Structure 1
C-alpha cells in the first residue's frame, strides 16, 4: 500500500468530485497506462477502485474522480464527506484491466462517471496525434464531468444527453451492425454496458472491451439478515439485509483482509465451517463452495454461518 494525501479537491458536477492525491512522503509514484485504476481504502474502511485520469508516464500525483452514489454503503459517501484536503489515504499501486491497445482509430464509449478511463484514453491518443472517436452519454450537460475538455477535442467527439428518458437513449446499432477492424472500449452504468454487450455478440472476441467495477450485486432488495459466528473467539456478528459480511465485521471493529470488494480478486476468501452460503463471487471453483466463501459479496441461505476467523 502507498500512503497518499489529498492535495486538492475539485467539484466537477453537483455529485462528482475530482481528487488529486500526492505521496505523503514525497516518494516517486509507480507509473501507469491509460485505463488503469487504483484501489483506495476510503475513510469508511471500504476498498474502492477508481480510474486514473491523469498522465501516467511519470506521475507526481494520482488524479481520480468519483460520483457520490445515492445508495452508497460507505465508500463514495466517506470520500465526499471525510476525504478533505490533507486527509491521508492508503492506496494500492495502479493496475490495468482495461488497457488501451495500439489499434487503428478506436471507438471510446462513456456513460456517466464511466467517462474517467475514457478521458485518460482520449488524452493519450490526442497527445500521440492518433485518430479516435468518442461517444459520451449522460443524463444532462450539468451531470457530465469533463464535458468541456472532451468537446474541445474536436468533431470526432459525440455527446448525447437523454434527460433520463428511455426513448431518448443513444442508438448504438449503426456502430455495431457490421463488425469493424477497430477496437471498442466501453465504461458506464449497467444499462449502457448491457446494451452494448447485446449488440456486439457477433463481433470477434476481444474486439469490444468493457470496464466494470461492479460486476457483482452484493446486496439485493430481497436480502434478509443473518448471523456470522467467528470460530476463534465465538463472537457472533449480525449481518443486516443491506450490509455485506465484510462490512458488518468492519462495523463491529473486526479487521479482515480485502481488496476489490466486488467478488473478483479472492483476497477476502475465508474458510466456511458451518452453514449454507449464498455465493455471489466470480472466483470460487464449484468444488470450493462447500468450504470457502468470499465475504465481500456472498451471503447466507441459512440463519447462521460459522467462519474460521
Structure 2
C-alpha cells in the first residue's frame, strides 16, 4: 500500500449542534501553533473514532489558521463514519487528520453562482464568506427539506443575494433553477449537494462552456450496492480468512477484524489502499487503477469480488 499523508493530531476544542442531525466541530492541534493553510472549497480527511476515513469540507478562514472547523451530518446508513463522529467525537477527544486538499478550487471570475443542497452547504458557505470578504459578486441558492434541517440558516439569509428554499420533501416543490442558468454569462457555477441536485444542475448547464460549472462530490462510488453478496478474503502472509459481509467493504471487514490497513478517501478516488491481488475475480469500482493494473491490483475501500473469493498480498 502507498504511504499516507503525514497526519496531524488534533483535539476537539469545541462542538455544537446545528440541526438535529448536523454537528459542528472545532479542531485544534494538540501541539499548538499554526496549521497548514487552505483556500475555500478545501477539505480534510479525518480518521473518525471508529477508524473510518472521511472527508469533510473546511468552514473557517484558511489564512494562517490555528484551528479547523468542519460540520458533519449523521447519515442514516452510516457504516462507521458520521455515526461515530456524532456518538463518540466529544470535546477533548483527539482525532488524526490529514492536511487540507482542494479539488473544488475557486477560479477567478467576474461573478459566481453558488448552489448548495443539505450538508453540501459546507464548501459553498466557505466560498460565500470569502467572496463577500473580497467584495466579489455572487448569487447563492441553498436547498433543504425544512428550516429545522437547515444548518447556518441565519447566516445564509444574511447574504443579500442568497435564496433559501425548503421543498418540504415534495418532488413537485423542487427549486426551479432554469431562470438562473438558462442564459450563460461570465459566471462560474459551483454546486455541492445530494445526487439529484447535482444531476439537475448538470442537465441544466449542458449548454454552458466547458470548465465553467464545477461540482464537489466526496462519495464518488457506491461502496455497497443492494445486490452485493458476501465473500471471503484470504490474506496471503498469514493464511487468515476474513468474511466480507454484503454491507461492508473489504477495508471495513479487515478493520472490523482488527487488521491494520492504510487508507485515505475510502471512496475509490485516491489510491492509498491499493493492494496486490494474488487470486480471484475482482469487481473494480474505483476511479484510480490503470487498465494494466486491474489484473493484479485492487482498491479495497470500494471494490469487491465479482464471483467467488479473493486472495490478497497482505
Give the TM-score band, short-chain normalised: over 0.9
Structure 1 CA distance for aligned equivalents of residues 199 and 252 of structure 2: 28
Aligned to 1:12: 18
* Aligned equivalent of 2:254, options 249, 256, 260: 249
Aligned to 1:114: 120
| Shift of residue 149, structure 1, vs aligned partner | 0.4
Structure 1 CA distance for aligned equivalents of residues 269 and 234 of structure 2: 24
Aligned to 1:229: 234
User: Does the 8 A contact of 2:109 with 2:188 survive in 1?
Assistant: yes
Q: How does 1:28-107 map to 2 (within 5 A)?
A: 28-107=34-113
User: Segments of 4+ in structure 1 off by > 4 A?
Assistant: none
What secondary structure does 2:13 align onto? strand
Q: Name the TM-score, length of structure 2 as normaliser.
A: 0.97
| Shift of residue 175, structure 1, vs aligned partner | 2.2
| Shift of residue 302, structure 1, vs aligned partner | 1.9
Structure 1 CA distance for aligned equivalents of residues 233 and 223 of structure 2: 16
Is it true that 1:177 corresponds to 2:182 in the alignment?
yes
- Shifted more, 241-250 versus 299-308: the winner is 299-308
> What RMSD, in angstroms, separates the aligned Cα atoms of the two structures?
0.8
Question: How big is each residue's C-alpha offset from its partner over 1:175-223, in whole Å with a ceiling of 9 and x where there is no partner?
Answer: 2223221100000011101111112122111100000001100100111
Is it true that 1:290 corresponds to 2:289 in the alignment?
no
| Shift of residue 260, structure 1, vs aligned partner | 0.4
Q: How many residues align?
A: 308
Structure 2 stretches lacking a partner, 5+ long: 1-6
Question: How big is each residue's C-alpha offset from its partner over 1:84-125, in whole Å with a ceiling of 9 and x where there is no partner?
Answer: 000100000011110111211200000000000011011111
| Shift of residue 166, structure 1, vs aligned partner | 0.5
What secondary structure does 2:63 align onto? coil
Structure 1 CA distance for aligned equivalents of residues 120 and 61 of structure 2: 17
